[in-house]
Amino acid sequence: MIALVQRVAQAHVDIGGAVVGAIGQGLLVFVCAEPADTDATADKLVAKLLKLRVFSDDAGKMNRSVVDVQGGMLIVSQFTLAADTSGGNRPSFTNAAAPELGERLYERVLSTARSLHADVACGEFGADMQVHLVNDGPVTIPIRV
């Protein structure tokens, strides 16, 4: 799985002008499943996200996790993270999982995250979403598990 993680002061997702998911301080996580990914891969990603130390401690060092700061997680599906532009200017998305697998693994990420963390919001798989965020830092980290 591929994830792009942004430390945010706040973030929300709109679909058709309605807010469907929102958090204050926390992590905005864009998630993309790849064809070889499994439930175990999704679980490993969630474990990594919950332990990722990107929030500042009292000394100003990135030493705290989203759990430590009691922050939120806004998890959004984004198959375009698997884009391959090596063949030209138009991206190919053949490295992304098929929609059925992608949706199942996205739902697995959500359910696992919600079972382990109190504040988890989401977008909607396959929807045309508007994602609004205030990137804190900015801190943006790519993850591949």
Pairing of strands 72-77, 2-15: unpaired
Amino acid (one-letter) located at 88:
G
> For residue range 56-82, what is the model confidence (pLDDT) as tens digits?
999 999 999 999 999 999 999 999 999
Q: Quote the mean pLDDT of the chain.
A: 97
pLDDT at res. 27 = 98
For residue 32, what pLDDT band results from cuts at 50, 70 and 90?
Answer: very high
Q: What CA–CA distance (Å, rounded) separates 6 from 139?
A: 6
Is the peptide bond preceding residue 91 cis, with omega within 30 degrees of 0? Answer: no
Catalytic residues, by residue number, are 78-80
pLDDT at res. 84 = 95
Mean pLDDT of the 5-12 span: 98
Local structure of residue 79 (DSSP, 8 states): G
Strand partners, 13: 21, 131
Local structure of residue 46 (DSSP, 8 states): H
Phi-psi region of 102 (alpha: psi -120 to 50; beta: other; left: phi over 0): alpha
Q: What topology is assigned to 2-144 in CATH?
A: D-tyrosyl-trna(Tyr) Deacylase; Chain: A; (3.50.80)
- For the chain, give every domain's residue range: 2-144
pLDDT at res. 3 = 98
